[in-house]
Chain A
Amino acid sequence: MKTPEFHINTNGHGAAFAEYRHLVRKKWLAMAGIIAVFAAAAIGSLASGASGVGLADLIPAILNPGHPAHGIVVSLRLPRVAMAVLTGSGLAFSGVVFQAILRNPLASPYTLGMGSAAGFGAVLPIIFLPAAFARDLWIAGGAFAFTMISAVVILAVTRLKNAGSETMILCGIALMFLFSSLTSFFQYMGAMEQVSEIVFWFFGSLSKAGWNEIALAAVMVLGPFPLILRLAPDFNLILTGDDAAKGLGVNVPRLRMEAVILASLATAGSICFTGVIGFVGLVAPHIARMLLGADHRFLLPASALCGAALVLIADTLGRTVWAPQVIPLGIVTAFTGVPFFFYLLMRRKEMM
């Protein structure tokens, strides 16, 4: 399938071709910049923490199991960084997908009600299961299950009514209200300690994820990614409108269906072990879009990296600026991302 850039290519003029090559070079440059920021964020996160193990000790600590900092770096910091990368990238590229199929710059992984559904799924075990049961697993399972339930409801409505993006958004908003009111209801039922647990879950945290959880999250987040990347050209076309996309050979209902399933899976994987982390899924796609344009072949990996970097930076700041107290991740993501987002917003006019 051809993308807008290839149309420029076909006009045969040397100047236009040079311009296209220049554009592509700029995109790769921006991509390299994003990769550099991401790498710096990951190393920075690995090199900072309460125990004071710094950059110099990092490599020996990882390679040598006898090193005193081995446990700190390998058992605590590496999983944290891995989970941050998975969560940030999963939310960010799901955000891109939802913004594309709903053709709405305000869309995020939570627009179709998935955040509230996940929250409700987590609240149930917090209220009804005593601490002794494998509660963390149930909380994660509940969050995952309800994220997927909300996706299935959206898909069912879309299929039955042959609905477009507006109906999907309305349906998502309805689900969002339904699940948040259910959450509030159970919160209302809860005792003091349960209410605080619910509040803390919604703040989000990377502390609870061990390697087992990371492996599960990786399957859910990284599994759909190549499949979504394969759909990138179709996302480019759907932005021109359903009819235009159909005219260019895109099976729009099928694309929406596949996209919702894959992106919901990635969203569920991103948040079920960490809590509903807001803002990343909305803003990371825009940051990437402002840096290297709306071509989804570039946009998808770039926003995944932006999202990962954003969560890494937010988590590192959350752990260090007010140490030894930790500022919960869900709070810092917005603190960190908003100033940069505003800066980019002032420079660009178009959102999509």
Chain B
Amino acid sequence: MNLMNPEKHVCQTFQKFGPRQGRRRQSKIVFFLPILLIMVVFSQPAFAGNRITVTDALGRQVQVGLPVRTVGAMNSDALEILRALDAGDMVSCVFAEIVRERAFWGKLADRPKLGSWREADFEAIAKIKPDLVIAYERNPGPELEKRLNPLGIQVIRLNFYKIKTLNREIRDLGRILGREKQAAELCGWYDRQLGRVAGRLKTAKHRPSVYIESYSDYHSTGPSSGADEMCALAGGRNLAGNFSIPYPEVSPEWVVSQNPRIIVKAASWANGYEKSGADHLGRVRDKIMARPAFPGIAAVKSGRVMVMDSSVWTGPRAVVGILYLARLFHPDLFGDIDPEKVHRDYIELFQKVPYGGVFAVEGVKR
């Protein structure tokens, strides 16, 4: 049977029997034709109907063959979205670093490992053979597709850490996994939170100057970094926002001479979900405020210095970080907003694990 072209096969059948062959044969054909077509449809994965095209994080149009039943998550951002889309059961292999956050990931941490977020273990992936592997736009490198595609394992690069593209990526993943409804719910939730912030900011009279410090001391975040995007959405003016590079080093003197109204610092690997108190973030905050010449800065004088856990600092939960920032930047507009409650809703509704932990510390008493 010509599986590549079922129509041709049916035509050939008609020609072979012709009009003189009698009604019995025709009725047989009429009976077998639908079965034949169904067989053709299901025996052909390359059939145009079960491939969908999505735009990946590099802006490429990528075709994904369906159905996708098992997925490999190369990083925590992808895994978090997978779990939020109720697709945790489809995850057949996970990134190696997951064991550090066992409390948050639960049984997912015990799934087979496919390498680290930036270096795939091809043999492990080949053995597990997930239908699809999700990775960041640049990590691991292009060898990921080169090695896995010949093995019949598809790769899609989705970041899930840029707010601008987050919803599009979630919807695309929802389409790929048949989780459109869950994707719509999650995107709707994000939109409501961001809409609430944007709505209130319309009446903001000023955008306070903010010195954002990344994980390393005196390394700020410039244009096209996640933190710059968060700062802008929360109604702040990032002092390094007009720099030339995304993660510039700055001098202490520059920070002091800019006299920021607010200082925000990311704490690396603070593992906030497992913490019961804020001491760990408080110590980081105390150290910033005691840096040479920092006590003269407006932010330090007024105590508006915030240290934030990396799990709400960019990534799928950046919206929670934005709420923390918005309240710090504009206490008059966001005084009634409780980022912790929003975070709890997200964790319980979408991640379906109990809420816990401490994710930000600031000087302002509430």
Contacts and interface: CB of A to CB of B under 8 A. Distances in A.
B292 A130 contact: no
B219 interface: yes
Interface in A190-244: 191-197, 200-201, 203, 205, 207-208, 210-211
A50 interface: yes
A76 B251 CA distance: 9
B265 to A, nearest CB: 9
B216 A325 contact: no
Contacts of B266: 193
A193 B310 contact: yes
B116 A194 contact: no
Contacts of B89: none
A286 interface: no
B249 A325 contact: yes
A193 B215 CA distance: 6
Which 9 interchain pairs have the tightest Cβ spacing? Answer: A132-B280, A50-B254, A51-B257, A75-B292, A326-B249, A75-B293, A325-B248, A193-B268, A131-B267
B268 A197 contact: yes
Nearest to A136: B217
A77 interface: yes
Given A197-B216, A208-B218, A326-B250, A71 B296 contact: yes
A210 B119 CA distance: 38
A351 interface: no
Given A50-B251, A72-B256, A205-B249, A192 B117 contact: yes
Interface in B259-294: 266-271, 279-284, 291-293
Given A76-B292, A188-B116, A324-B243, A208 B217 contact: yes
A79 interface: yes
A131 B250 contact: no
Contact of A131 (B117, B215, B254): B215
Contact of A324 (B118, B214, B216, B254): B254
A339 interface: no
A49 B215 contact: no
Interface string A162-200: 000000000000000000000000001101111111001
B243 A193 contact: no
Contacts, number: 125
A121 interface: no
A76 B293 contact: yes
A49 B251 contact: yes
B252 interface: yes
13 contacts: A51-B254, A51-B257, A72-B293, A76-B293, A77-B253, A130-B270, A131-B270, A193-B268, A194-B215, A196-B216, A200-B219, A211-B292, A326-B250
Given A131-B284, A208-B218, A328-B249, A72 B257 contact: yes
Given A72-B257, A77-B253, A130 B293 contact: no
A319 interface: yes
Given A196-B216, A197-B268, A207 B251 contact: yes
Contacts of A195: 118
Tell which of B100, B240, B252, B258 has the most Cβ of chain A within 10 Å: B252
B105 interface: no
A71 B267 contact: no
Contact of B268 (A76, A194, A201, A322): A194
Interface of A: 49-52, 71-72, 75-77, 79, 130-133, 136, 188-189, 191-197, 200-201, 203, 205, 207-208, 210-211, 319, 322-328
A113 to B, nearest CB: 25
B257 A207 contact: no
A132 B281 contact: yes
Nearest to A192: B117
A286 to B, nearest CB: 29
A200 B214 CA distance: 11
Contact of A51 (B249, B256, B292): B256
Tell which of A50, A77, A203, A211 has the most Cβ of chain B within 10 Å: A50
Contacts of A136: 217
B355 interface: no
A61 B241 CA distance: 31
Contacts of B291: 210
Nearest to A51: B257
Contact of B249 (A132, A197, A200, A211): A200
A211 to B, nearest CB: 8
Contacts of A327: 249
Contacts of B250: 324-326
A282 B250 CA distance: 27
Contacts of B117: 191-192
B2 interface: no
A327 B218 CA distance: 12
Nearest to A77: B253
A315 to B, nearest CB: 9
A210 B292 CA distance: 7
Given A191-B269, A325-B248, 20 more contacts: A49-B253, A51-B254, A71-B296, A76-B253, A76-B256, A130-B268, A131-B215, A131-B267, A132-B270, A133-B283, A136-B217, A191-B97, A191-B117, A192-B118, A193-B268, A193-B269, A319-B253, A324-B243, A324-B251, A325-B243
Tell which of A75, A79, A208, A322 has the most Cβ of chain B within 10 Å: A75
B139 to A, nearest CB: 8
Interface string B17-56: 0000000000000000000000000000000000000000
B258 to A, nearest CB: 8
B244 interface: yes
B253 A130 contact: no
Interface in B218-258: 218-219, 240, 243-245, 247-254, 256-258
Nearest to A79: B292
